[in-house]
Every structure is written in structure tokens, then in C-alpha cells.
Amino acid sequence: MRYLEQLPRFAFFTGKGGVGKTSLACATALRLADAGLRVLLVSTDPASNVGQVFDLQIGNQITPVPQVPGLWALEIDPQAAAQAYRDRIAGPVRGVLPSEVVKSIEEQLSGACTTEIAAFDEFTGLLTDAALEQRFDHVLFDTAPTGHTIRLLQLPGAWDSFLEAGKGDASCLGPLAGLEKQRSQYKAAVQALADPARSRLILVARAQASSQREVARTHDELVHVGLSRQHLVINGLMPASEAPLDALAAAVLRREQAALAAMPAVLRELPRDEIALMPFDLVGLAALRQLLDAGDAGASSTSPPPLPDAAPALAGEAAPSLAQLVDGLAAPGHGLIMVMGKGGVGKTSLAAALALELARRGLPVHLSTSDPAAHLSDTLAGELGVDPGLFSVSRIDPQRETQRYREQVLATKGKGLDAQGRAMLEEDLRSPCTEEIAVFQAFSRIIREAGRKFVVMDTAPTGHTLLLLDATGAYHREIARQMEGTGLHYTTPMMQLQDSSRTKVLIVTLAENTPVQEAAGLQQDLRRAGIEPWAWIINNSVAATGARSALLRARAAKEQPFIEAVARQHAVRYALVPLLAEEPVGADKLQALLGRRPD
């Protein structure tokens, strides 16, 4: 594997959700530890599943992996980090300052901004901790899906610049109180990220046009941050040996080869490794070791490892289709539909397919996304075949929304200020915390439209979405506190999400162990927030295709217990969507996701 050659101390695995970052990071950590090196594997994903891969409870502390001498793991838990951060800032002033002041500080520390700062604080600490440098030869970062990772890797510079010029009473004064004390740590983190002798970025992608476009964008954005030493890994390639055995395998192989041939030029210039699609879940030490063995042999020149015995694939015709779910969704004539789940499960394609089908039925639809890395325009390529007056598309762009919010505040709160006061307000609005407020306001503005039309929201991967819901809950609590005792009627975005007659949440998963476990965890989080999911969608199911290739049959057999778990344990209603021979891009191919043939 070329990316392992002269591997620096820090390595970051990043890419679009679902491309195999966690599996590759875990397999790399295992290989380095097997070679006698001392390795720390860190997950910065708010929805980490490193523990599931090793069948080990890890959490927010450095934990040895018992079966692998020389390997330790850490999952940065944003909520635990935020609580520790709050205690560190607010704890010393309790009983010292007046209770109103302490309460004000605690309120400032209650939002998602504090969660982001606390996770960032731990991340930069790992890059600069001299004791860890003595203890470990390598620190590997299994990062969150692309948009969240870009944000994380940009933060050291963003916060350092803000603190360098910072003055004025920031809206997130409480969180910033702790940051000011660690400016030197952030400068050191920036230097570590920018040094190719110390840091390497491993871009993980699939042989898909959308995955490669996103990786190319990631490459450009992170070069500006200073991570210039980059390698590319194309994961999950269909072995050529499967193509003569099955029409679906042959179609997938053709699709992948075409995508590789059309790879963006900036990626073709990078050192590249290719890894074959495995017939089994990448959970457990034996499976992880086989992953890199296949990569060493070369994905295009080798057959996959020996297949396990495969039971007959589940008959896809017996499971509900996505079209059947649309019948229930369309009945009220309007409402909010939120499509949620782990990165890489196909939320964007499914949200687009649902929105187009509703518009084809003559219903007004606004399709939007809150995913920083989503690109609906790529999915909706070509002629859509719906009335343009019924169908609109938008994206919550954090940078644009932040700029809009700054201009709004300056035009209102800054209107009567003198030059010094306005300068202080502008400085306050340069805080990265401002983005949290701006994105929440955009989200609230869009979902209000659901009273007169359908709003289909393609959400960010699970962890990022939960942070947005955390901001929604914090806003609800503040409004409820202000309105208490007034007798006035009010409705907050959280109240809209909790109202099942107005909001339907669809949880998307794959028929695999980790995505189903994470989807079940998301459902529990939603229920704790008073939000009851309406349905589950199992996407990209091989079991629903009737494939005959030995590799695909093996994968279909592995899917069956997870399909049954969704149908019998987790979901009130569900739909099974087959793996398509062609990538679902454009109106006709999106319509194929519904379980109907295009007209």
C-alpha cells in the first residue's frame, strides 16, 4: 500500500460518508501495531463506530485494544468533551460570582458551539501533546464525513485568527473564555497540520463520479489549510472476475471503470491504492487484516478472498418498495419530510427521488439540504420532468448564511452604534460560533414553508444533524422560558419536529451491522428529543436484486438478518431499495429507486 510508505506521525483518513474510512483506518492501525509500532487510533466522528469494528467499548478515553498489543483507541465524544469543558469554565466561578452571572455563563455554554469548541480542543491537544509523542509512534485519525472534517481541520486557523484580533463581547463569550488560554496550543496545531513530514491525508473514495468529485473538492480545500501531503485510496472495487457471472456485477464494473477513467485531473496526480470489494462485513481482526492484504495484491488483478457459504438471497419483491412509502407521505398534501442517517447511505439520492415523485403527483415541493458536503445539483442532473412551478431546490450554505446573518445583525443591532461599538460588533461576528446561529436560522426559515407545501430536507450525516437538533432544542428551551406565564401561543421549530402530523422523519440505512446499529442509536436520540421516526429505508440492498455472482450472493446472505431486524425490531414501517446497475443520477435513474420502471 503506497500510502503506508514512510508514513508520518499523524495520518488523517477522510472522504464522503460510507466509503470505508473507519475500516481502512482500523486496518492500518492493526497493520502498524502488528509490525511492533505503538499506535493510537482516534475517531473525531460525532457518530463514531470504531468500537463496533473492534467489538470493544472505547469512549472518550485512551483505551487499549486487548487482542492487539501496541494498539490503543480513543473516540472523541463531543457531548462528554463539552461537559468537561463547561465544568472547567463555569466550575471555578460557582459560589464566587453572583448566581445570575453564573447562570448567564452556563447558558452561553449550553449550545452546539460549545460542543464544537470542546471537540476541537481535544483534537488540537492530540496534535501538540508532548507526552503522547513519547508514548506513540503514530496517531491515526478516523474523521467524520467530509464536510465536518473540513470544518474541523480549518478550525485551528479560524480560532487562532479570531483570538489574534479578538476583542469585544463575543456572543459565545463563555466558550471563548477557555480558548483564550490555549492560543499557543492552536498555533502548534496549525504548524503540525501544515508540515508534510508530520501529517499525511489519506483521501478515501469509491469508484463513483460523485465520490470522486467530493474528494477532489476536499483535496483543494485542505491544501489551503496546509495538508498538502495527500494520498488516494479507491475502496470497494468490483473484482473483474465477477463480471462474467452476473449482469449486475458486470454493470457495476463498467460503471466503476468509467468513473476511474473520468477521474478529476487533480486526483490522477496523487499516489493511489485500490482495494477490492469484500464479501463480508469488515468487523473483527481477521476481516480487517484481509482488507489490506487485498489492497497489497491489487484490486483489479486479484479475486476476493474465499467466500463463506451463502444462503439464498431474500426475495426483494416481498419487501415494501419506496413507492409504497410515498403513498403515505403524500396523503396530507404538505408537511416536512426529514431524511436522516449515517454518511454514505444514500440520503441525498433518496431525498431527491422522494421530492421528484411528490412533484410528479402535482404537489408543491421544496427540496433542500443541510449537509455541508451535499451537492443536489449533481444528483438532479438533466431534465427533471416536473412542473418548475411545483419544484424548487436549495442548499443551506454555511458561508453564505453566515454572511447573510452578519449583514442582518450589522443592519439592526449595529445601526445606532458609534465607530468603536460597530467595530466591536463586527469582531464579535467574525467568531466561528456565528456559523452555528446562521445555519440554525436558515434551517428554521426553510421548515416553516412546510405549512403550505412539502419540504424535503436532506440532512447532514448523523452526528452533524444531532448538533443541529441540539441547537433547535436550546432555542426551544429559551423561548419557552421567555414565554412562561405570558399566556401567549407560540410554536418553535422543535415543536414542529415533534408534531407527527406535520413532520415525518425517514431513517436511511444499509443492510449491514454498523449502519443499522447507528440508525437504531439515531432513533433513540430522536425519541429522547420527543421525535418519533415515521419509517426506515434500507438502501442499496443486494438481497433485493436477485444477483447470481458468488460475491454478491454472499453479500446478500449477510444482509438478511439486518433486513429482518429493521422489519421486526426497529421500524414501524420500512422500504427496501435495491442496488442499481447505474448510479442514481438524473430523474429517470432516481425514479428507479422507487421500485418502478421509468416511463
Nearest in space to 275 (alpha carbons), one of 298, 252, 304, 251? 298
Nearest in space to 205 (alpha carbons), one of 291, 273, 125, 137? 273
Q: How far, in Å, CA of 99 to CA of 265, rounded?
A: 60
Lowest mean pLDDT among 13-27, 99-113, 196-210, 341-355: 99-113
Instruction: Please state which CATH class domain 2-297 belongs to.
Output: alpha beta
Amino acid at the residue 117: I
pLDDT confidence band for 169 (50 / 70 / 90): very low
Q: How far, in Å, CA of 564 to CA of 517, rounded?
A: 13
Contact in structure between 396 and 379 (CB atoms under 8 Å): no
Q: Tell me what pLDDT residue 312 has.
A: 43
Q: Tell me what pLDDT residue 232 has.
A: 95
Nearest in space to 73 (alpha carbons), one of 87, 91, 60? 60
Q: How far, in Å, CA of 503 to CA of 443, rounded?
A: 14
Q: What is the mean pLDDT of residues 133-154?
A: 70
Contact in structure between 458 and 348 (CB atoms under 8 Å): yes
Phi, psi of 183 (to 5 degrees): -60, -40
Instruction: State the cell numbers at 158.
Output: 479560524
Q: Provide the pairing of β-strand 365-369 with 230-237.
A: unpaired
Q: Tell me what pLDDT residue 448 has.
A: 87
**Strongest mean pLDDT among 72-81, 135-144, 165-174, 432-441:** 135-144
Q: Tell me what pLDDT residue 303 has.
A: 47
- Find the helix or strand (DSSP H, E) in which 83 lies: helix 78-90
Instruction: State the cell numbers at 88.
Output: 472547567
Q: Tell me what pLDDT residue 109 has.
A: 64
DSSP assignment string, 121-164: HHHHHHHH-HHHHHH-SEEEEEPPPHHHHHHHHHHHHHHHHHHH
Q: How far, in Å, CA of 319 to CA of 567, rounded?
A: 9
Q: What is the mean pLDDT of residues 307-327?
A: 65
Instruction: State the cell numbers at 164.
Output: 489574534
pLDDT confidence band for 77 (50 / 70 / 90): confident
pLDDT at 107 > cutoff 80: no
pTM score: 0.72
pLDDT at 290 > cutoff 70: yes
List own/partner pairs for 100-108 with CB under 8 A and 24 or more apart.
105/174, 106/174, 107/174, 107/478, 108/171, 108/172, 108/173, 108/174, 108/175
Mean pLDDT rounded to a whole number for the chain: 79
Q: Tell me what pLDDT residue 302 has.
A: 43
Q: Pick left, alpha or beta for residue 87 (phi over 0 → left; psi -120 to 50 → alpha; otherwise beta).
A: alpha
Instruction: State the cell numbers at 461.
Output: 450525516
Instruction: State the cell numbers at 395.
Output: 442548499
Q: How far, in Å, CA of 573 to CA of 505, rounded?
A: 12
Residue 317 CB-density burial (10 A; 0-12 exposed, 13-18 middle, 19+ buried): exposed
Instruction: State the cell numbers at 317.
Output: 419483491
pLDDT confidence band for 364 (50 / 70 / 90): very high
Residue 577 CB-density burial (10 A; 0-12 exposed, 13-18 middle, 19+ buried): buried
pLDDT at 85 > cutoff 80: no
Q: Helix 112-128 to helix 433-447 angle, to the nearest 10 degrees? A: 140
Domain boundaries, the chain: 2-297, 316-399+443-592
Lowest mean pLDDT among 71-85, 168-182, 558-572: 168-182
The fold for domain 316-399+443-592 equals Rossmann fold (3.40.50)
Strand partners, 337: 456, 504
Question: Which residue would you say has higher pLDDT here, 14 or 38?
Answer: 38
Residues 6+ apart with CB under 8 A from 391: 355, 356, 359, 364, 365, 367, 384
State how far the alpha carbon of 293 is from the alpha carbons of 31, 82, 271, 288, in Å: 10, 39, 18, 9
Percentage of the residues of the chain whose pLDDT score is greater than 90:
28
Q: How far, in Å, CA of 497 to CA of 529, rounded?
A: 9
Q: What is the mean pLDDT of residues 305-329?
A: 66
Catalytic residue numbers read 18, 20-23, 45, 514
**Sign of the torsion formed by the C-alpha atoms of 459, 465, 468 and 473:** positive
Q: How far, in Å, CA of 205 to CA of 192, rounded?
A: 25
pLDDT at 173 > cutoff 50: no
CA angle 254, 260, 263 (to 5 degrees): 140
Strand partners, 42: 74, 141
Strand partners, 508: 341, 537
Q: Tell me what pLDDT residue 110 has.
A: 62
pLDDT digits (tens, 9 = 90+) for 467-511: 556 666 665 566 666 667 776 665 677 778 888 889 999 999 999
DSSP assignment string, 87-116: HHHHGGGTTTS-HHHHHHHHHHTSSHHHHH
Q: Tell me what pLDDT residue 95 has.
A: 76
Q: Tell me what pLDDT residue 3 has.
A: 93
Q: Helix 146-165 to helix 112-128 angle, to the nearest 10 degrees? A: 90
Q: Tell me what pLDDT residue 56 has.
A: 80
pLDDT confidence band for 315 (50 / 70 / 90): very low
Domains 2-297 and 316-399+443-592 are alike in CATH topology = yes
Strand partners, 40: 72, 139
pLDDT at 321 > cutoff 60: yes
Nearest in space to 275 (alpha carbons), one of 249, 243, 238, 311? 238
Question: Which residue would you say has higher pLDDT here, 375 or 329?
Answer: 329
pLDDT confidence band for 311 (50 / 70 / 90): very low
Question: Helices then strands (H, E): number in the chain?
Answer: 24, 15
Q: Tell me what pLDDT residue 269 has.
A: 92
Q: Which residue has the cell 486479484?
A: 302
Contact in structure between 139 and 42 (CB atoms under 8 Å): yes
Strand partners, 142: 13, 43
